[in-house]
A and B are shown apart, each in its own frame.
Chain A
């Protein structure tokens, strides 16, 4: 049984690794806390003196174990932030030069995909619109201009570990670079009305030659 669906991008694998890093930090904390939980319950019937039991914790010295626990968690927190920040920066805060650009528009309840057309430029007269089918080349940086027409949608590519809300009135540019060919899902992750659960698209990741052929077919129509 897999924990994650297969990952089709470099970034996606790094995010999966991050999940396990966080889980490890949390796991260590869990083991320590669980011991502190269970030990007193197991030994609850042993005899203790009143002096032993009257622990008020009213000075810093008596609370030192609490502080040590907090410090350890703080270190764990910092380690998580240290590991995750570079990924966030490369996913969200940088925009590598694109090899290919498309527009993806959420609409109740479908995905409209706009391809740049034969001239290779978006927002020109020869742009071609397709529905629910996104063809992208493998191992290339693809820019997506994400928009919505009516309500808030969210482009969710589970296998690419990619998600971005699509907002009416805004264009948000994000990038993906996928390293496996195949047929993958496009989900809408933000509730968008009655048809929210039929709003599925398909992303075809194709090697460069196949993809060029597909594009030529689309443009011919």
Chain B
């Protein structure tokens, strides 16, 4: 332990190898990017409800900018907020302290992964400074739209003029982000397999560690085809190869397959760490063992494998073989079964529990409820290929995937954040502000997206700057009202995040001092100081039992740390 000494500010935040500091760097960077994602959505939702002129804090919005903001909102929220928070922050901060070790297996690789991530953020945002403007063809980058102004299609361009475009920068930023996440992912898996404390068998690992690892493996299995596809797309843009150009032997649908082969598992890559953290929280605050621990892990592995073979449900009407669509529809609907097993296990954990409605528990329950009732169940509507003919590319889809991703990234993310905040800062967050933040976020999140379900069923299609061309269909007073309800709710939702920001920084300095184990939880991170010292444990813990022995009949207390025999 003696090798870990305290470092100064500069060393700590710029050259740190400590997994906790790197996790914190990821967190701050992701929050910074979330501010962009949130601002973009504010601008384009304002436009949809109240028109494109004089948007407060922005000015006038043109159709081209609208497309750019929509595209970058999607990409930022998934790749630069969801991925870093759920994989990098949870993985970096929690894995070593939960498995009882001092740091990652490859600390230098970990540091490099963060700096590449930061570079990817800079590359993405500098896309806005390019002469052609940021990329605006939808975050899915469907060619030929994503190449149409460049390369072969435009004889006036050169390699370098193609290079300095939003499209190229967007692709490069995504590529850099993947490199960073792959480095992190390798690190997490190796650390989990090789650096566990004595007695920490795989079946004694906390669920969230399992989930982060499954998510990382799933990411590695699925990302390969997209990297190949992204390289082809880059070549199409830069030097005018024709991989996705139908008039020169290419095929635009090829990109859609490569993209969604990654794109669908990606949703689960985000979901798993979040649902893992929610599982920890539900077990802790129900004061009950996680029901069916092994089954949950098995179900998640089954769902992860199934998620590799459902990608074409994004393409039911894209021109794929309609016979094949039947199989994808079947598999998509079947994937609800392992998730039902998982959700029912969590509900089994709640059953007969001495539930403590602390702030993290509220977020966790909110996540589970919205994800299941609106996100998961509308998945059955869209998984049915027949109904998807109508609903595809409408706001029904938008509401559906926001009901899966918002609970995953934000509700689950905040649950984890409030839960582990005492550990990472050594202080408790203010509970009243936490309650205000929770109810503000939860209520307004629902009032944004429930109207959007209805608008989608009305036939309101996606990524439209202005619906005035559809006067009869989509510009009736009730449609305008629904859009305004959604937009006003969004503005409130964003405002409530300032409560969180204030609480975050205020509690960091002024919060009540946290004890080692404020929630009376079992896992190893609660056995060390808050915040853990450089090196985490002294001496290393020895693990005696699995992490969910709450209310064990042979124990006096209602919890029993993993180190207790």
Contact = CB atoms under 8 A, between A and B. Distances in A.
- The bracket for how many chain B residues form the interface is 35 or more
Given A23-B381, A30-B377, A66 B292 contact: yes
Nearest to B146: A151
A169 B319 CA distance: 12
Contacts of A58: 292-294
B458 A5 contact: yes
Contacts of B558: 50
Interface stretch (B90-98, B185-193, B329-337, B535-543): B329-337
Contacts of B390: 12, 15, 158, 161, 163
A44 B355 contact: yes
A12 B386 CA distance: 10
Contacts of A188: 461
Interface stretch (A72-80, A122-130, A137-145, A206-214): A72-80
A121 B5 CA distance: 84
B355 A41 contact: yes
A192 B323 CA distance: 27
A15 B145 contact: no
B67 A167 contact: no
Nearest to B70: A191
A29 B347 CA distance: 14
Nearest to B288: A53
A70 B341 contact: yes
A189 interface: yes
B457 A36 contact: no
- The bracket for how many chain A residues form the interface is 35 or more
Given A15-B390, A40-B352, A189-B393, A167 B466 contact: no
Given A77-B333, A196-B463, A15 B387 contact: yes
A88 interface: yes
Contact of B380 (A33, A77, A91, A162): A77
B551 A53 contact: yes
Interface of B: 63-64, 67, 136-138, 142, 144-145, 148, 246-247, 251-253, 286-289, 291-295, 317-319, 322-323, 325-326, 329-330, 333-334, 336-337, 340-341, 343-345, 347-357, 365, 368-369, 372-373, 377-378, 380-381, 384-387, 389-390, 392-394, 454, 457-459, 461-467, 469-470, 472-473, 478, 548, 550-553, 558
Interface of A: 1-5, 12, 15, 18-19, 22-23, 25-26, 29-30, 33-34, 36-37, 39-41, 43-45, 48, 50-58, 63, 65-67, 69-70, 73-74, 77, 80-81, 84-85, 87-88, 91-93, 150-152, 154, 156, 158-159, 161-165, 167-170, 172, 185, 187-198, 200
